[in-house]
């Protein structure tokens, strides 16, 4: 407990020093690093490089490189408050608050330390891209992802921004282009890892996102067709997906993304009975991780699966959850209400006319 309090007090002291010096051109930044042995230490200096590989600090006339996986936390001396507020809002998925915070960027950029302006600006571009992407402004989001990559060579958000561009293609229905993009990213990420000598644990999660993205878009493409080979093609992708997930059983994000692809495969094969059972299991496990957006999509799929499987009571429960818990609106709300009525009609429940 004493060690923990000591650590907290040390950070408070560092941040107090940073705030005191923020009005001067000289910068005092702080980086906490963690080595493999578990030991933590704090290095104070000026951050002069912040990219995919890690940080480079100027300290006592010398440069100190710090690998990205070793970084536990950091603080720019001149990190503007609006940027910190934007990050907090994004973490909480408060998109309107994040937008408001980022609007202040234009007035504040000139006040940034010239030595660190372009390093800090990559955060501004990336956070703007995330907000635009999640609020459906895909053109602007794509522009900001590209600006993130070009603002700093090997930007610290290089992997995330490239994946963001691929996801925009997928979200806008350009499935074939998205599939090609995900495939190219896997090669690009491997090449980048070799070029910068990045540790495997840093690159693997992003490689997995791209790999599962490629399989997911392949499944979506097949599901759009009425091919006689549809089921066998989906079986091959199911086998490929299982192979990927077996190799990385501890990666929770990959397992979660894989589950969503599984749902698409069962749907494409029209195995409504198995899909409903499978989703029961996935949803039950998913509730523990509180991933509301993913759960929403799964409930939508399970409702359709139960409807196709003529399990009308189960379908009613799912549609009611979508209406009452997830508060669906617009055309989809109308569809939900229609399906609830349809299910009551099929059951000939005494209340179906209401």
Mean pLDDT by groups of 10 residues along the chain of 354 residues: 50 40 52 80 89 91 90 83 90 92 80 82 95 95 97 96 97 96 98 96 95 97 88 94 92 87 88 83 67 75 88 92 88 92 82 60
Closest CA to 157 of 117, 114, 119: 119
Task: Output the pLDDT for position 130.
Answer: 97
Task: Output the pLDDT for position 193.
Answer: 96
Contact at 8 Å (CB) between 257 and 217?
no
For residue 293, give every residue at least 6 positions away whose Cβ sits within 8 Å of its Cβ, in sequence order, or none. none
Closest CA to 128 of 110, 140, 116: 140
- Tokens 């495997």 identify what position? 200
Cα dihedral 134, 137, 138, 144 in deg (nearest 10) = -90
Contact at 8 Å (CB) between 184 and 162?
no
Predicted TM-score (pTM) of this structure: 0.79
- Tokens 């009452």 identify what position? 324
Task: Output the pLDDT for position 19.
Answer: 37
> What sign does the dihedral 337-322-163-128 (CA atoms) show?
positive
Task: Output the pLDDT for position 113.
Answer: 77
- Tokens 């910190």 identify what position? 84
Task: Output the pLDDT for position 143.
Answer: 97
Contact at 8 Å (CB) between 279 and 265?
no
Contact at 8 Å (CB) between 256 and 294?
yes
Contact at 8 Å (CB) between 217 and 179?
yes
| 163 burial level (CB within 10 Å; 0-12, 13-18, 19+) | buried
Contact at 8 Å (CB) between 19 and 79?
no
Task: Output the pLDDT for position 283.
Answer: 77
Contact at 8 Å (CB) between 352 and 316?
no
Q: Which two tokens stand for residue 103?
A: 């609007």
For residue 197, give every residue at least 6 positions away whose Cβ sits within 8 Å of its Cβ, in sequence order, or none. 53
For residue 53, give every residue at least 6 positions away whose Cβ sits within 8 Å of its Cβ, in sequence order, or none. 65, 67, 68, 154, 196, 197, 198
Closest CA to 188 of 221, 211, 215: 211
């Amino acid at each position: 407990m004493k060690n923990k309090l000591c650590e907290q007090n040390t950070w408070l002291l560092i941040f107090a020093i940073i705030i005191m010096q923020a009005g001067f051109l000289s910068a005092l930044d702080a980086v906490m690093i963690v080595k493999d042995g578990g030991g933590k230490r704090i290095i104070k200096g000026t951050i002069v490089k912040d990219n995919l590989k890690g940080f480079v600090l100027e300290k006592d006339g010398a440069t100190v490189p710090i690998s990205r996986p070793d970084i536990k936390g950091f603080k720019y001396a001149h990190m503007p408050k609006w940027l910190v507020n934007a990050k907090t809002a994004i973490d909480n998925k408060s998109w309107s608050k994040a937008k408001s915070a980022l609007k202040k960027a234009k007035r504040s950029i000139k006040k940034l330390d010239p030595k660190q302006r372009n390093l800090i600006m990559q955060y501004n571009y990336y956070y703007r891209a995330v907000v635009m992407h999640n609020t459906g402004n895909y053109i602007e989001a794509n522009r900001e992802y590209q600006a993130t990559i070009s603002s700093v060579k090997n930007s610290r958000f290089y992997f995330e921004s490239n994946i963001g561009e691929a996801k925009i293609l997928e979200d806008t229905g350009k499935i074939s282009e998205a599939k090609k993009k995900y495939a190219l990213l896997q090669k690009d990420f491997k090449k980048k890892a070799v070029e910068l000598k990045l540790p495997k644990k840093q690159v693997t999660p992003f490689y997995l996102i791209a790999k599962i993205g490629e399989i997911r878009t392949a499944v979506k493409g097949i599901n759009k067709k009425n091919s006689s080979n549809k089921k066998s093609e989906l079986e091959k992708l199911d086998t490929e997906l299982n192979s990927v997930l077996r190799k990385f059983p501890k990666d929770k994000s990959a397992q979660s993304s894989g589950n969503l692809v599984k749902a698409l495969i069962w749907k494409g094969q029209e195995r409504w009975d198995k899909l409903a059972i499978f989703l029961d299991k996935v949803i039950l496990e998913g509730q523990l991780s509180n991933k509301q957006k993913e759960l929403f999509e799964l409930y939508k799929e399970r409702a359709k699966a139960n409807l196709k499987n003529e399990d009308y009571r189960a379908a009613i429960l799912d549609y009611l959850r979508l209406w009452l818990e997830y508060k669906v609106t617009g055309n989809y709300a109308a569809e939900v209400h229609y399906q609830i009525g349809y299910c009551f009609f099929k059951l000939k429940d005494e209340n179906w006319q209401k």
